[in-house]
Structure 1
Amino acid sequence: MRGNGGPRRPSNIENLDPRPRLGCRRALLLQGPNGPFFARLAKDLKRGGTSVTKVNFNVADSMFYRGPDVISFRDSMDKWPERLREIMVEEQIDAVFLFGDQRPIHLAATKLARELGIAIWVFEEGYLRPDFVTCERNGVNGNSELPRDPEHYRTRAPMLPEPDPVTPVGNTFWQHTTWTILASVGKTFGWFRYPRYVHHRRTDAFYGAFCYTRGAFRKLRYRITERGVVDGVIARNDGKYFVLPLQVYCDAQLQHSDFPSMPAMIEHVVATFAAAAPADSMLVVKHHPHDMPFRDYKGLLRQLAAQHGLGDRVVYIHDTHLPTLLKHARGVVTMNSTVGPSALFHHTPVKVLGRATYDIAGMTSQKPLAEFFQDPGQVDGELFDAYTHWLKVANQVNGSFYRRVNPETASGLPPTLFDRVGETADVAEGTASAALVGFVHDRGAG
């Protein structure tokens, strides 16, 4: 439970279903994921009687969302807070929806929404992959209000209802890729329609074409050169190697750590491994599949291995069956990747270097990294099960941003998510997570 006397709770807490409900009458949609997801989400909101206003910031936004409810913002970013305030007041907005809370556009929006008492709903890729997306009140990842107290999950998760049945999402790689390419082409050739827009990462189509062509050749090369490497590592070092899963070089999760870049984290981990890990252990560095077109750390890792006298104890891999790699590892070191929960699922100890919702005592190691390399400890499997149960009820929604999973809604998300659409957003009573804390607290007291 949070500090300052704990969360405020709705008076009718016994009737509260803790699953997230998008209650609002006048919604403001900002930037969504590449593709038509936000346009489909708007249809679900409107179907329930909610008035929707959408702000577009670039041509890609305009490609995927059109209509009379659109406001095009073409000024520079320093004018955005003032214009946003005007929109929120004039349209009487009571809830704002956005994808990712670390984009500059969204940082300004969440700050102003809190000032005006407007509900904030943040969508993000799922904490649990691959069949979920995250829908959380007020913030996600490092900004999430999920409790970090292990006793919270041990004692209260058993009181929750069973999670809804899960429909498998399947592989969405090609849908995701298609929307990303269309967005890149739109922003590149339609830049003059939004000449002051600056994206939070490089997205021009020419750069993308070069990178993805390079990535295709890298993928082919590593598929050939790395054949049998992981099998060999497992055969010779079963239970003696640590895995370092890398994240995309421009991952917003970097902002939830003390590292300025991915290479800085790599240097820290390799140096600590060299100084503290047992002499018979190995470090397997796993490249992120989506980062193959953009970054390659082979040269850096070769240099670091030579600098620290590690020889062939550092192995760099790309395409591999991750569950197999995790099951046989002694431990996993991560900044805050979703590989962390995957490792915990296989009862492999995890050390988090950044800030993550799953970095909870008993579930992940709280030791310094050097001590973790010497003795990773054990995973409390029951605590992890309680944590994942809580997530599936509180903020993990079965679905995808890139494919409609549930045919009953335009967005493909479960219909229960929209049960309270058209009702006033209940901001004064705190976040959905806080309401859930109160729900189980009162049930336990009764």
Structure 2
Amino acid sequence: FLFCPLQVPNDSQITLFAGWVGSVEGMIAALARTARALPEGWHVRLKEHPSARSSLADPLARAVAEAGGRLVIDNATDSFAQLAASRGVLTINSSMGLQAFFHDKPVIVLGQAFFAIPGLVTPVHSEAALAQTLAHPQALSFDPALRAAFMSCLDLVYYPRVSEAPDGSITIDPDALARMLDAARSGTALSPGGAFL
């Protein structure tokens, strides 16, 4: 199965960056129309976000009915357990897509995400492309070297060094933080060494 952890419908990641699906409900509807393309024995397993304030029960029920057994709702099983057991992750732009990297899972990205890089994931830009991708889930893949380089960049450049003192207090590397803030203010990227590009 492919795991699809749903996002919070009114979160800015959705309202600003959902891409062609437009919303969580739009993604559910697109999955309902395309899930039948999956080969025999495959399904998409969806899980509602635990922080969602509005229920997606009605659109999910319609989608499950339309998809002919190819969409399954599992709100009970732990998200990380479902991710680990899956053959891949399907998301608009959730950080669960990044979590999938730690489990060496292929990822399908439907929306705008900073990690929607071909080879790192499989970006899908239309409903027709989604149906084509779902028709061959066993062909989903990623470039392990690109993923390793990407994750190293996140570790060495994007996230500042944090240390914990014996008293439990947290300290962020002030030089790294200053470089990141300068880069953000100037719209400049940082290299893995922390230098401006």
Output the TM-score relative to the length of structure 1: 0.37
State the alpha-carbon separation in 2 of the partners of residues 351 and 317 from structure 1: 19
Q: CA deviation at 1:251?
A: 0.9
Q: Distance in 1 between matches of 2:43 and 2:182?
A: 52
> Are residues 1:256 and 2:17 paired?
yes
- Unmatched 5+ residue regions in structure 1? 1-240, 400-404, 442-446
- CA drift at 1:252: 0.5
Matched, 1:339 2:96: yes
Following TM superposition, by how much is the alpha carbon of 1:366 offset from its aligned partner in structure 2, in angstroms? 3.8
Q: Distance in 2 between matches of 1:437 and 1:371?
A: 40
Mapped partners of 1:418, 1:439: distance in 2: 12
SS at match of 2:51: helix
Give a deviation string over 1:343-372, Cα, whole Å, max 9, x none. 122121111011111111111114521222
Q: How far, CA to CA, are the matches of 2:94 and 2:45 in structure 1?
A: 15
Moved over 4 A (4+): 418-421, 429-432, 434-441
Unaligned segments of structure 2, at least 5 residues? none
CA distance 1:295–1:438, change in 2 (3 Å): closer
**Percent identity, aligned pairs only?**
27
SS in 2 for 1:433: coil
Q: Tell me which residue corresponds to 1:412.
A: 170
Query: Paired residue for 2:115, among 331, 352, 358?
Result: 358
Give 1:437 shift: 8.2
CA contact (8 A) 1:394 1:433 kept: no
Question: Are positions 1:300 and 2:56 aligned together?
Answer: no
Higher relative contact order (CA 8 A, sep 6+): 1
Shift of 1:281: 1.1
- Return the offset for 1:420: 8.0
- C-alpha deviation, 1:389, in angstroms: 0.8
What is the distance in 2 between the residues matched to 1:251 and 1:257?
10
Partners of 1:315 and 1:331 in 2: CA distance: 15
Larger radius of gyration: 1
The 5-angstrom pairing of residues 315-330 of structure 1 reads: 315-330=72-87
Q: Number of residues paired by the alignment?
A: 187
The residue aligned with 1:389 is 152
Measure, in 2, the Cα distance between the counterparts of 1:321 and 1:398: 30
Change (3 A) 1:248 1:366: closer
Change in Cα spacing, 1:435 to 1:243, as seen in structure 2 (3 Å) is closer
Task: Tell me the C-alpha RMSD between the 2 structures.
Answer: 3.3
Amino acid at match of 1:358: F
Matched, 1:266 2:28: yes
Q: What does 1:5-84 align with in structure 2 at a 5 Å threshold?
A: none
Partner amino acid, structure 1, of 2:9: Y
1:277 and 2:38 are equivalent in the alignment? yes
State the shift of 1:440 in Å.
9.5
Please list the CA deviations of residues 249-297 of structure 1 after superposition, one character each: whole Å capped at 9, or x if unmatched.
21101111234432111111221112x2113211110111211xx1222
